[in-house]
């Protein structure tokens, strides 16, 4: 006979409402961890999407995502000729405020050379860029259909293809355009600014620059050897894909991880305190029953078991409810929420530990209840 569960089912309505409350808290914890996972995925998506083994950037720079990097475009040809490199592409990256359908839209624009490395890794609709100018492949998170017009800088671009999961660390949708358009967008000044610069005697700006060269090695190629060769002969900085991801993680995710970790920890503590108070209050309500059980000879383990079972039931049902609702609402979050079974399992474990800790106060109280209180009128 499970006394704890029998007591809970006796006050089923109150128990379920309490579980819902705890579930809301635990769901928020799970959601925050999911947001963090989404953030990690998002921040690495573009660098992974490029399909590169090496990232060649300006010397002494940690570009192109963590720092500014500017290279002459012809560097790409030099990299492509290095022994061990099978393919190389020039790329530009920048965040822009675009206008689509009269609305402002924040995009992370990738300029790439069609047919070379650096383009969208997958198309889920439409076609790749085929013309030299004014075509764009967008991430589906921009929620624009094929054929839509997007204004970037001084030009209108037509959406010809859609890709997926290509977003920046900030969650901005990725937008792929030709390198030529990317260079214009990034390096060409507005006409009035250019006229002012010429009037001041400045030489015309060189717009044939790029942010990085992405390179893929031949099968079985030695990443370290090729990177070393580029550094030695080209005087450029080279990052391997792993180094790029580590840099992105450190630059963009580390603080967010700590912040989300702190909030998640605080929420778990709050949930623990709430469970502790609820279980303690439930125990206070049962003083006479506990005294009666002691009086008729119930050993401590029966009483402790009753309290711990109730605490665990609250936490576990709350966790189940929280997991269910966060899975239902996750697709509607403005950012991608990645809910992993491993994270849910870890939270379940933490919840169980929190419930055990939460029941400690009530157990302590219950063990001190004088069985003689059952005899009091």
Partner 1 sequence: MPATPLVKLRNVTKRYGSGQSQVTALDSVSLQVMPGEVVGLLGPSGSGKTTLLNVIGCIAEPSSGWMMLDGDIVYDSRWVMKDLRRLRREKIGFIFQTHNLLPFLDATENVMIALHLNGVKTDDARKRAKALLDYLEAGHRGDAMPGELSGGEAQRVAIARALANTPRVILADEPTAALDSERAAIVMGLLRKVAREQQAAVLVVSHDDKIFALFDRVFRLRDGKLTEEQVMLAGR
> Which residue of 105, 144, 293, 355 would you call a contact of partner 1, by CB under 8 A?
293
Pairing state between β 85-100 and 212-217: antiparallel
> Which residue of 51, 289, 320, 365 would you call a contact of partner 1, by CB under 8 A?
289
CB-nearer residue toward partner 1: 8 or 215: 8
Pair 41, 165: CB distance under 8 Å: yes
> Which residue of 296, 341, 342, 368 would you call a contact of partner 1, by CB under 8 A?
296
C-alpha torsion sign, points 111, 115, 121, 122: positive
Sole residue written with tokens 């030299």 = 132
C-alpha torsion sign, points 60, 62, 65, 67: negative
Told to check if 7 binds partner 1 by CB under 8 A, we report: yes
Q: CB neighbours (10 Å) of residue 152?
A: 24
300's CB contacts (< 8 A; 6+ apart) are 367
# chain residues binding partner 1, by CB under 8 A: 24
CB-nearer residue toward partner 1: 11 or 281: 11
Round to whole Å and give the CA distance between 333 and 86: 40
> Which residue of 148, 180, 298, 304 would you call a contact of partner 1, by CB under 8 A?
298
Q: Least distance from C-beta 359 to partner 1, angstroms?
A: 18
Q: Least distance from C-beta 366 to partner 1, angstroms?
A: 14
Give the phi and the psi of residue 221 in degrees, each rounded to 5: -65, 150
Give the phi and the psi of residue 263 in degrees, each rounded to 5: -65, -45
> Which residue of 147, 220, 331, 377 would you call a contact of partner 1, by CB under 8 A?
377
Pairing state between β 54-57 and 103-112: unpaired
Told to check if 12 binds partner 1 by CB under 8 A, we report: no
Q: Least distance from C-beta 7 to partner 1, angstroms?
A: 4
Binding range to partner 1, per CB under 8 A, among 33-41, 92-100, 255-263, 285-293: 285-293
Round to whole Å and give the CA distance between 233 and 213: 15
Pair 30, 320: CB distance under 8 Å: no
Q: Least distance from C-beta 3 to partner 1, angstroms?
A: 8
Told to check if 140 binds partner 1 by CB under 8 A, we report: no
CB-nearer residue toward partner 1: 140 or 292: 292
Q: Least distance from C-beta 357 to partner 1, angstroms?
A: 25
Q: Least distance from C-beta 371 to partner 1, angstroms?
A: 5
Q: Least distance from C-beta 314 to partner 1, angstroms?
A: 16
Told to check if 9 binds partner 1 by CB under 8 A, we report: yes
CB-nearer residue toward partner 1: 6 or 154: 6
Told to check if 288 binds partner 1 by CB under 8 A, we report: yes
Angle at 324 between CA 311 and CA 331, to 5 degrees: 145
> Which residue of 201, 220, 297, 334 would you call a contact of partner 1, by CB under 8 A?
297
Told to check if 282 binds partner 1 by CB under 8 A, we report: no
CB-nearer residue toward partner 1: 349 or 372: 372
CB-nearer residue toward partner 1: 6 or 127: 6
> Which residue of 142, 294, 309, 362 would you call a contact of partner 1, by CB under 8 A?
294
Reported for 296-304, long-range contacts at CB under 8 A and 24+ positions apart, including other chains, are 300/367, 302/3, 303/363, 303/366, 303/367, 304/363, 304/366, 304/367
Query: Which element (helix H / strand E) includes 346?
Result: helix 341-368
Pair 314, 19: CB distance under 8 Å: yes
Binding range to partner 1, per CB under 8 A, among 129-137, 228-236, 245-253, 297-305: 297-305
Told to check if 371 binds partner 1 by CB under 8 A, we report: yes
CB-nearer residue toward partner 1: 82 or 374: 374
Told to check if 219 binds partner 1 by CB under 8 A, we report: no
Peptide bond into 33 cis (omega under 30): no
**What does the H/E/C string look like for 325-340?**
HHHHHHHHCCCCCCCC
User: Which residues here bind partner 1, judged by CB under 8 A?
Assistant: 1, 3, 6-7, 9-11, 288-289, 292-299, 302, 370-372, 374-375, 377
């Amino acid at each position: 006979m499970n006394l704890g569960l029998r007591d809970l089912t006796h006050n089923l309505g109150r128990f379920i409402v309490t579980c819902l409350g705890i579930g809301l808290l635990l769901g928020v914890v799970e959601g925050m961890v999911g947001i963090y996972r989404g953030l990690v995925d998002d921040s690495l998506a573009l660098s992974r999407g490029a399909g590169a083994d090496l990232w060649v950037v300006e010397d002494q720079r940690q570009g192109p995502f963590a720092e500014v990097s500017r290279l002459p475009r012809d560097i790409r040809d030099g990299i492509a000729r290095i022994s061990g490199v099978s393919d190389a592409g020039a790329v530009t990256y920048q965040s822009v405020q675009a206008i689509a359908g009269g609305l402002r839209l924040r995009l992370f624009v990738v300029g790439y050379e069609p047919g070379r490395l650096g383009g969208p890794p997958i198309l889920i609709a439409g076609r790749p860029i085929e013309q030299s100018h004014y075509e764009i492949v967008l991430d589906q998170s921009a929620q624009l259909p094929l054929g839509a017009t997007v204004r970037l800088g001084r030009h209108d671009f037509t959406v010809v293809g859609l890709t997926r999961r290509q977003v920046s660390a900030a969650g901005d949708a990725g937008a792929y355009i030709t390198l030529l358009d990317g260079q214009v967008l990034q390096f060409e000044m507005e006409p009035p600014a250019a006229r002012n610069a010429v009037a001041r005697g400045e030489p015309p700006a060189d717009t044939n620059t790029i942010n990085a060269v992405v390179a893929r090695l031949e099968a079985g190629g030695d990443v370290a050897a090729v990177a070393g060769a580029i550094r030695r002969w080209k005087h450029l900085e080279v990052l391997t894909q792993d180094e790029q991801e580590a840099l992105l993680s450190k630059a963009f995710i580390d603080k967010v991880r700590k912040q989300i970790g702190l909030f998640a920890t605080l929420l778990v503590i709050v949930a623990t305190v709430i469970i502790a108070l609820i279980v303690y209050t439930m125990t206070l309500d049962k003083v006479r029953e506990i005294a009666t059980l002691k009086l008729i000879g119930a050993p401590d383990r029966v009483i402790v078991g009753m309290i711990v079972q109730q605490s665990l039931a609250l936490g576990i049902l709350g966790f189940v409810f929280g997991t269910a609702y966060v899975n239902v609402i996750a697709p509607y979050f403005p950012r991608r929420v990645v809910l992993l079974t491993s994270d849910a399992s870890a939270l379940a474990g933490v919840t169980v530990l929190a419930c055990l800790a939460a029941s400690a106060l009530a157990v302590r109280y219950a063990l001190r209840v004088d069985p003689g209180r059952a005899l009091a009128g």
